[in-house]
Each structure stands twice: as structure tokens, then as C-alpha cells.
């Protein structure tokens, strides 16, 4: 019945007669016109601001939506189109953008496109030697509009000047004076019904950052606020020449030439303006990893530890979960209560569990840290020891993951036919032979994909590394911040967000490398899955 209705709708959509079809078409076209108008405005704005990547994605989504809603053959995708658009915007675009960023110098000092970097520089002002400085008092009317009363700095007897944003005031009257000798309010001739009242100091401090971006007065008296009680006739410091691609510093007379290979404006003596701008630099970020031993050294250590951490965490968690599932899979008193208690770590939020374990490993008052020092016969600070911090991290990760494998293995074991064990008993196989030749192969057929997934999750287990010891202790002598317990994802986080000089381009390049490594490892692991499936078929 539904298939018939769909066919009828398709026929109507292909031009069937009737007022219903015409109204549907009109509503569809109206909706597309509104959507396209908003999309084109966003594309235009983003492109002019230098964000051509995002503008391109919006353009692709716009074309896709129009195709789906205008072409009859794309009818089945119409109600999926919002999901497809969000998938492109939220999932596909970040991946493509990360790959793009890995080929740029995007980072501290190079965060803006060239257009916006120039705008930031041109907004900077300076006070020339001949410029006038003033003391000011801020006033505000009932509509929230501001006015300044300027008094020449150092001249208490000078005539006060009243100015508004972007304009002068020809005539004004001052109200009664307060205790500090300043007018309580100001009345501008022609606006007697909206007097300007003096603003309290607390209100001034809250609004200071916005006020500093505003120019008060006309061409002859244009001033900007420089502090909580000072204003000055500032001038534009940097002026951009589009034809020559240069920026001139009006204060010093130095000319800075744009260098699109480095994304900077550079003077003849090698000084650069901040901020620079983001540009494409090719494979330079990848060459830092592949060609510079100083960068490659800590990264090799971090990669080896990441593989060890993910492998040991996965194997030990699976082994412990399987052992518990086998032991408590038999009939025994209190079986359900014990199994319920064993999965408690899985029910507690991982963040809380990690913080509790951090306290337990504390060498001063943590029970595990104290016990470890007594066992080894010497004080051991887990957080400062490059070996024991890794042991602690694997232990905690196993504790977090084993309840999951208890549940999975319990279900998988129940799916194995019991008559196979009966046949094995008749053939004289003992418990170990049954486990090695029967239980484990059949179990891995179902649990194998989960092991691969768990390995990938552990490979990127950022929360544990960050919350337990923030990747420490630090590796000495590295050009970039790195720790002995850092895994690749936490190392990338250090580079991109936690260091003083954030380097998003290099961090994105390492992210791409991580993706390629995980893809290769996953393909390699799937070879074992095919082997497990063949073994399972032959059992």
C-alpha cells in the first residue's frame, strides 16, 4: 500500500495536474528561495571575510538541497536532506578541514585570513607628538547613548568640550556641579527631553572595552578612550596599500611587505607585524615530522607507548572479563549479586573513577601508592616515574573496561551450543583443550570486531591520560612539550591547545598521521578476523 502511495506522489511530482500539485510546487519553490537567499548571504559574507572553505561547503550543501528538491529522481532523499546537510556540515567538513589545516601555518600569530588580519592592523591607533590628550567624564541618557565631556589634560581651567559618537556637539548646557566639581548632567540643545546623566565608575569599567572601540567627535575633535579617565586624538597607525601589498607604519615610517609564503608582513630589517595571516605551506608540517629528528624523537617514543597502552589495555581487559565470565557462568551461590557488583565500575562515570584512582596512587596518602613503595622497598612517586605511571594507566584502563567484557563474553558464551562440549567430552578433551580449541575460536568470531573497536578507543583514550597525570612526567630536551605517558592524541592536544605557542597546522598533520596509522592497524586486524572466522567455521 505504501509503495502505491509513493508511486502516486512521484507521478504528481512529475507534473500531474490539479491545484494540490501546483500549491505544493509553489510552497516548495518558496521554501527553496528563502533557503537559497539565506545560503547566498552566508556564502557572500564568509567569502569576503576570507573563510572560503566554509563558504564552499555551504555552497555544496545548497546545490545538493536544490537538486534533491527539484529533481523527481531524487524524491527518496527529500526527507533525508536535512540529515545529509548536517552530516556534511558536522562530520564530513571537519575531516576535510583538518586535512586542509595540516597544509597551512594556522596557529598562534596566524589565526586570521589575510583580509581580517589587515583589518585588525588598520584598527590600531597611536598618539602622535602633536596629538591632544584629554581627561574625560562619561555621561549616558535614558536611551543608552553615550557622551563625553572632555577637558584638556593638564589644563583645569580649559573650556570643556562635549562630543558624541562620530559627531560634535554645537551647543550644550551643564547641570549643577557635584561634590567633585563635575556636572551631574549635560543637556544638549535640541535634545532637552533626553538629558545625559553622569555614569558611575562601576558602569564605566564594565563598558570600557566597548567604549575603547568607539570614536567620539567629528573630524576636528575625533578622540578615543585610552583608559578609565583619559582620551586622546589618536590616528591610524597602520595603512595597507593593496596594489603594492604593503603596510606602512605611520608612527615609525617603516614599510612592511606581505610575504604570502610565510603569511606575514615583514620589514627590511626582518621584523614582522603581529598578527600574521594563515596561508598554505604545502607539506612543511609533515616534513617537520619526517625530516627533523628533534621532532621525530619524542613522537616515536609516544607512538610506541600508544600502541603498548592500547594493546595491553585491550588484551588484559578482555582476558579479565573472559575469566570472570567463565568463573561465574557456572551455578554457584550468590551468582547474580556477585556479577552485579563486578560491573559497578562500568556504571560509575569514568571521570570520577579516574580521579579516585589518582588519589589511590598518590605516594603520600594513597593506599596503592604507599603499598607500592613498601613492596619495592623504596619511595616511588608514580606521577614522576616514567615506568610506574604507565603501569598505573594500564591498570586503571583495565579496571574501567573489564566489566564491559564481562557482559559481552557472558552473552557470547551462552550462544555456544552445549552439544559441542558434550562431543568434546566424549572425545576425551580436557577443560584446557576445550577452551583453546572450542571456546576461544568461537568466542573471537563474535567478539573480534569489538576487540578492534576497543583497541581504537584505547588508542585515543584522552580523558584517562589528561585527568590522571596530564601526560607527565615531561620528556627532557624536546623542542615541543611532550610527556612520557602522553599518547598521540594528548600530544596533539598539547601542541594545539595547551602550549604557549599553539600550532594547529602541525597538530592537524599529526592527526592525519594518526588516522592513517589507525586505518593501517585496523586493516591488519581485519586479517586476523578472517582467520578467526575460518577457524570458527572449522570447529
CA distances from 209 to 120, 124, 274, 471 (A): 15, 14, 20, 38
**Coil vs helix vs strand at 189:** coil
What pLDDT, on a 0 to 100 scale, did the predictor assign at position 537?
A: 53
72 and 193 inside one domain: no
Q: Are residues 362 and 471 in the same domain?
A: yes
Position 275 in a domain: no
Q: Are 34 and 27 in contact (CB under 8 A)?
A: no
Window from 277-281, 344-348, 498-502 with minimum mean pLDDT: 498-502
Distances (CA, A) of 333 to 336, 357, 425: 9, 31, 26
Please, are residues 454 and 401 in contact by the beta-carbon 8 Å criterion?
Answer: yes
pLDDT in tens, 237-259: 899 999 999 999 998 999 999 99
| pLDDT mean over 291-320 | 85
pTM: 0.66
Is the predicted pLDDT of residue 235 greater than 90, yes or no?
Answer: no
**Alpha-carbon span 86 to 420, nearest angstrom:** 49
Q: Please state at what angle helix 293-327 crosses helix 440-459, rounded to 10 degrees.
A: 140
Portion of the chain with pLDDT greater than 70, in percent: 89
Does residue 205 or residue 316 have the better pLDDT?
Answer: 316
Helices 19-48, 52-70: crossing angle, 10 deg rounding: 170
Is residue 285, in this structure, part of any structural domain at all?
no
Domain stops at, among 236, 265, 300: 236
Residue 6: pLDDT over 50? no
Mean pLDDT of 218-243: 83
Residue pair 183/151 in contact (Cβ under 8 Å)? The answer is no
| Residue 87, number of CB atoms within 10 A of its CB | 12
Mark residue 180 as left, alpha or beta (left: phi above 0; alpha: psi -120 to 50; beta: remaining): alpha
Q: Nearest to residue 147, comparing CAs of 193, 199, 192, 189?
A: 199
Determine the pLDDT at residue 8: 46
Last residue of a domain, which of 101, 134, 155? 101
CA 366 to chain centre: 34
Q: Is residue 67 part of a domain?
A: yes
Say what the pLDDT of residue 399 is: 92
- Alpha-carbon distance 285 to 275, whole Å? 20
Q: Where are the alpha helices (DSSP H) in 131-184?
A: none
pLDDT over 80 (residue 3): no
User: 134 and 82 share a domain?
Assistant: no
Q: Which of 156-160, 443-447, 467-471 has the lowest mean pLDDT?
A: 156-160
Q: Can you give the pLDDT at residue 5?
A: 46
Among the ranges given (209-213, 329-333, 346-350), the one the predictor scored with the smallest mean pLDDT: 329-333
Could you count the other beta carbons within 10 Å of the beta carbon of residue 485? 23
What totals of helices (H) and strands (E) does the chain contain, helices first?
20, 15
| Contact between 176 and 197 (Cβ < 8 Å) | no
Whether 187 and 323 share a structural domain:
no
The residue among 107 and 12 whose pLDDT is bigger is: 107
Q: What CATH number did the domain enclosing 484 receive? A: 1.10.3720.10
Q: What is the 3-state secondary structure (H, E, C) of 87-134?
A: HHHHHHHHHHHHHHHCCECCCCCCCCCHHHHHHHHHCCEECCCCCCEE
Give how many domains the chain has, as a whole number: 3
Is the residue at 222 inside a domain?
A: yes
Both 53 and 147 in one domain: the answer is: no
Structural domain contains residue 444: yes
Mean pLDDT of 144-155: 82
User: Region 476-493: what's the mean pLDDT?
Assistant: 84
Residues 93 and 28 grouped into a single domain: yes
- Residue 265 pLDDT exceeds 50: yes
Cα 335 to the center of its chain, rounded Å: 45
Cα dihedral 492/497/498/502 (nearest 10)? 90
CATH number at residue 29: 1.20.58.370
Q: Are 42 and 131 in a shared domain?
A: no
Do 149 and 79 have their domain in common?
no
Which 3 state secondary structure label does DSSP give 178?
Answer: coil
Contact between 119 and 232 (Cβ < 8 Å): no
458-474 pLDDT tens trace? 988 899 999 999 888 98
Does residue 165 share a domain with residue 57? no
Residue closest to 382 by CA, chosen among 484, 299, 239 = 484
How confident is the model over 115-133, as pLDDT tens digits? 889 999 988 888 887 778 8
Evaluate whether residue 274 is within a structural domain.
no
Write down which residue in 41, 69, 101 finishes a domain: 101
Tell me what the mean pLDDT of segment 427-455 comes to: 82
The reply to whether 465 falls in a domain is yes
Euclidean distance between CA atoms 175 and 66, whole angstroms: 63
**Closest alpha carbon to 465 in 296, 301, 304, 306:** 306
The domain containing residue 491 runs over which residues? Answer: 290-538
Rounded (10°) angle between helices 93-101 and 504-538: 130
Residue 494, in any domain of the structure: yes
Confidence of residue 15 (pLDDT cuts 50, 70, 90): very low
Residues 8 and 78 in one domain: yes
Residues 210, 168 within the same domain: yes
Residue 533 has pLDDT above 60, yes or no: no
pLDDT digits (tens, 9 = 90+) for 410-421: 888 888 888 887
The answer on 490 and 434 residing in a single domain is yes
Q: How far apart are the first and last CA of the chain?
A: 46
Amino acid at each position: 500500500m505504501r509503495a502505491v502511495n509513493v508511486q502516486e506522489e512521484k507521478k504528481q511530482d512529475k507534473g500531474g495536474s490539479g491545484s494540490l500539485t501546483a500549491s505544493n510546487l509553489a510552497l516548495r519553490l518558496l521554501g527553496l528561495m528563502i533557503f537559497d537567499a539565506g545560503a547566498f548571504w552566508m556564502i557572500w559574507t564568509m567569502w569576503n571575510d576570507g573563510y572560503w572553505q566554509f563558504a564552499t561547503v555551504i555552497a555544496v550543501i545548497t546545490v545538493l538541497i536544490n537538486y534533491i528538491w527539484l529533481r523527481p529522481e531524487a524524491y527518496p532523499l527529500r526527507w533525508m536532506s536535512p540529515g545529509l546537510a548536517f552530516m556534511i556540515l558536522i562530520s564530513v567538513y571537519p575531516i576535510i578541514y583538518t586535512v586542509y589545516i595540516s597544509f597551512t601555518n594556522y596557529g598562534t600569530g596566524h589565526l586570521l585570513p589575510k583580509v581580517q588580519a589587515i583589518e585588525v592592523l588598520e584598527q590600531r591607533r597611536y598618539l602622535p607628538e602633536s596629538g591632544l590628550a584629554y581627561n574625560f567624564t562619561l555621561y549616558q541618557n535614558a536611551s543608552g547613548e553615550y557622551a563625553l565631556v572632555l577637558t584638556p589634560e593638564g589644563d583645569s581651567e580649559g573650556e570643556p568640550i562635549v562630543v558624541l559618537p562620530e559627531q560634535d556637539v554645537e551647543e550644550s548646557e551643564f547641570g549643577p556641579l557635584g561634590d567633585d566639581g563635575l556636572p551631574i548632567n549635560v543637556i544638549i540643545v535640541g535634545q532637552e527631553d533626553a538629558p545625559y546623566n553622569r555614569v558611575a565608575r562601576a558602569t564605566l569599567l564594565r563598558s570600557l572595552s566597548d567604549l575603547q572601540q568607539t570614536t567620539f567627535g567629528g573630524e576636528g575633535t575625533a578622540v578615543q578612550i585610552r583608559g578609565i579617565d583619559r582620551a586622546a586624538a589618536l590616528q591610524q597607525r597602520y595603512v595597507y596599500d593593496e596594489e603594492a601589498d604593503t603596510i606602512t607604519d605611520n608612527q615609525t615610517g617603516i614599510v612592511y611587505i606581505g610575504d604570502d609564503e610565510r603569511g606575514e608582513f615583514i620589514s627590511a630589517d626582518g621584523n614582522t607585524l603581529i598578527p600574521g595571516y594563515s596561508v598554505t605551506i604545502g607539506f612543511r608540517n609533515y616534513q617537520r615530522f619526517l625530516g627533523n629528528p628533534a621532532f621525530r624523537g619524542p613522537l616515536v617514543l609516544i607512538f610506541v607507548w600508544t600502541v603498548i597502552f592500547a594493546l595491553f589495555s585491550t588484551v588484559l581487559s578482555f582476558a579479565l572479563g573472559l575469566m570472570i565470565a567463565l568463573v561465574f557462568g557456572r551455578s554457584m551461590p550468590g551468582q547474580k549479586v556477585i556479577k552485579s557488583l563486578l560491573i559497578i565500575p562500568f556504571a560509575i562515570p569514568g571521570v570520577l573513577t579516574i580521579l579516585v584512582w589518582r588519589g589511590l596512587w598518590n605516594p603520600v596518602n594513597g593506599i596503592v601508592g604507599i603499598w607500592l613503595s613498601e613492596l619495592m622497598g623504596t619511595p616511588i612517586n608514580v606521577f614522576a616515574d616514567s615506568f610506574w605511571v604507565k603501569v598505573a594507566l594500564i591498570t586503571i584502563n583495565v579496571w574501567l573496561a573489564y566489566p564491559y567484557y564481562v557482559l559481552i563474553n557472558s552473552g557470547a558464551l551462552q550462544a555456544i551450543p552445549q552439544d559441542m562440549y558434550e562431543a568434546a567430552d566424549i572425545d576425551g578433551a580436557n577443560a584446557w583443550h576445550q577452551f583453546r580449541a572450542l571456546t576461544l575460536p568461537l568466542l573471537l568470531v563474535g567478539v573480534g570486531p569489538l576487540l578492534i573497536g576497543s583497541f581504537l578507543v584505547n588508542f585515543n583514550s584522552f580523558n584517562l591520560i589528561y585527568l590522571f597525570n596530564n601526560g607527565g612526567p615531561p620528556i627532557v630536551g624536546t623542542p615541543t612539550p611532550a610527556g612520557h605517558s602522553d599518547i598521540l592524541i594528548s600530544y596533539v592536544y598539547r601542541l594545539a591547545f595547551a602550549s604557549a605557542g599553539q600550532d594547529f597546522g602541525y597538530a592537524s598533520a599529526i592527526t592525519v598521521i594518526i588516522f592513517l596509522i589507525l586505518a593501517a592497524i585496523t586493516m591488519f586486524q581485519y586479517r586476523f578476523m578472517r582467520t578467526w572466522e575460518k577457524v570458527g567455521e572449522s570447529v
